[in-house]
Amino acid sequence: MARPAPRANQEIIEVPVVMAGGNKFGRYSKINDSETWNMIVSDGALVDYAGYKNILPLLPDSPGRGIYSSARGNFMIVVLGANTYRINYITANVLEAVFIGELTTTSGDVFISENNNAQICITDESHLYVYNYKTPTSPLLLTSGINFPTGGNYSAFPILSPGYVSFQNGRIIIADIETNLWYLSGINDALMWNTSSAVMNHAYVGSLQTKPDTMQAVVPLPGGGNNVMVFGRTVIEQWQDVGAALFPYQRASSLNIDYGCLNASSIAALDNYIVWLAANEQGGPTIMVTNGGREQAISTDGIDFKLANITDPTNCTGFLFRQDGHLIYQFTFPTDNISYTYDFNTQLFFTVSDENENYHPARNVVFFHNDYYFVSLKGGNIYRMGTQYTTYDYGSDNVQQIPRIRITEPFRLPTQRMFIMKSFGFTMENGQQNYYKTYTTERQEADSTLKAISTESNIIICTESGESIATEGSGFDETFTYVLSPANVDLSVSRDGGASFGNSWRLNMNQTGNRKSRMIWQRLGQCNDVTLQIRFNGPIRFIAFDGLLTLYQ
């Protein structure tokens, strides 16, 4: 909190309280416990972070491993457990899932890319799979290393563990995570690889050279033309496609980044940025960003302290997306049960979670038909994500409120003396619609008319060839009702440096049309070290502005 401003009578002190702030917590809560849950800062106000809705239930017990949006094919590819689906767009509320094949693995990271020849490449750190969407009835092609089925142009030397996959200048690029090598496919031919150990064909094989290291990823630099960033575990090299005859890429000899990547799943690229969870031989985990020049650490002391104490930093995932113009990097550590976001617009960190304040379920996000979709780390459904959703809607009448919390910075007098908190208040939006939709599904009566079989969310179930399955039985009708849900704001006070918070004082928000915007709590008691916790409760949107703490001695 800022320095207090005394009034003229020198009896009342007014202390500005930053509500529109992010995570500035220190190493220990006594230093600073300020944190914001499931909200971000926009134009000086605290506003909602994106909610989500279960738009396509598929395999509830299978974790989401990967999702990819094909701009050329106009569909999404998702991997749930071992199952791979093509997701077609029918309407804004109806997606069609077509099963296209199984992977040999059921868990772990999956990476997806495509070329200009209708070939989708999927890697699971064990095999490479190729799906040709020009012939959608064809199965997903399984390869053993690079030993393709009959008809492929390959050598006997396999890629041991195909990991991160990307595309540039007509070629699919694969990182072998057990060696220091990375491989190029033939031009627009994901079935053409030459990895022969006998000739070590330099036209198709590159290597990480700056340090003795193993590969993590080869990532095209956004807005960087022919440049790629080659990630190892302890170093990153920049290469450029110069069209050379021996090997098309040439390493920048005067530049490398002395940090590598702990897990390729944490790498995200958008606009002019590449963001990742970095480390090297002497440095522990930190969040870094580069635009192809020098790297920059963006994590704070508090975030770095959290990362240094994570039990399994290699189990992480991260992605970049835009929320209403804000470029946001979200990263999650499932083993350690935490998720954070970083907003490049405001340069602030925030905490995100599910309805139980556990880690956020999104593995990665894609943009498809003007909406964002993600697969969940916690189950095999497809979710639509955005600020149009002010709840977590799992379908089947399971709608959960989002825990939105703001913990302020501590306030202490330089004299360490006790003071009495007369009041605390802030301005927020009030009087908006205070109700939300709930969905119910009713089974139709059976008749002699053929009906397409669908899920409870009215999603059509198809065969492997894409044909709808029909029956003379019943389908489902979905209806919705409006439910009034009074929203409120809870305030609790910590008098011991954020170690514990007392009971909550609740103020109800105004009903629709009553837009008085002042929220104020009176007679909050005595202390010499105060931290405030504000919880916004309700299935509606919240907009809050900075406040004021009034005290006297």
pLDDT digits (tens, 9 = 90+) for 207-238: 998 899 999 999 999 988 899 999 999 999 99
- pLDDT at residue 460 tops 80: no
How far is the CA of 355 from the CAs of 6, 27, 231, 478, in angstroms? 41, 26, 35, 25
Angle value at C-alpha 449, between 443 and 453, nearest 5 degrees? 50
| Chain-centre distance for alpha carbon 147 | 34
Q: Which amino acid is at 499?
A: A
Q: Measured between alpha carbons, how far is 207 from 196 in angstroms, rounded to an integer?
A: 14
Per residue in 492-551, pLDDT (tens digit) is: 999 988 889 999 999 998 877 777 788 999 999 999 999 999 999 999 899 999 999 999
pLDDT value at position 28?
86
Mean pLDDT check: name the lowest of 188-192, 483-487, 513-517: 483-487
- pLDDT at residue 449 tops 80: no
Q: Measured between alpha carbons, how far is 277 from 259 in angstroms, rounded to an integer?
A: 9
Per residue in 363-375, pLDDT (tens digit) is: 999 999 999 999 9
How far is the CA of 349 from the CAs of 58, 336, 535, in angstroms? 33, 18, 18
Per residue in 399-426, pLDDT (tens digit) is: 999 999 999 999 999 988 999 999 999 9
Percent of the chain predicted with pLDDT > 70:
82
Instruction: Judge whether 85 and 451 are in contact, CB under 8 Å.
Output: no
Domains of the chain: 5-48+406-434+486-552 (2.60.120)
Mean pLDDT check: name the lowest of 26-30, 183-187, 287-291: 26-30
DSSP string, 401-466: ---EEEEPPPB--TT---EEEEEEEEEE--SS--EEEEEEEEEPPP-SS-EE-B-TT-PBBB-TTS
- pLDDT at residue 252 tops 60: yes
Residue partners of 494: CB distance under 8 A and separation at least 6: 33, 500, 501, 502, 530, 531, 532, 533
Per residue in 256-286, pLDDT (tens digit) is: 899 999 999 999 999 889 999 998 888 889 9
Residue in 370, 404, 499, 459 with CA at minimum distance from that of residue 95: 459
Q: Measured between alpha carbons, how far is 433 from 512 in angstroms, rounded to an integer?
A: 5
How far is the CA of 511 from the CAs of 90, 402, 433, 486, in angstroms? 38, 20, 8, 8
Q: Are strands 260-261 and 273-279 parallel, antiparallel or unpaired?
A: antiparallel
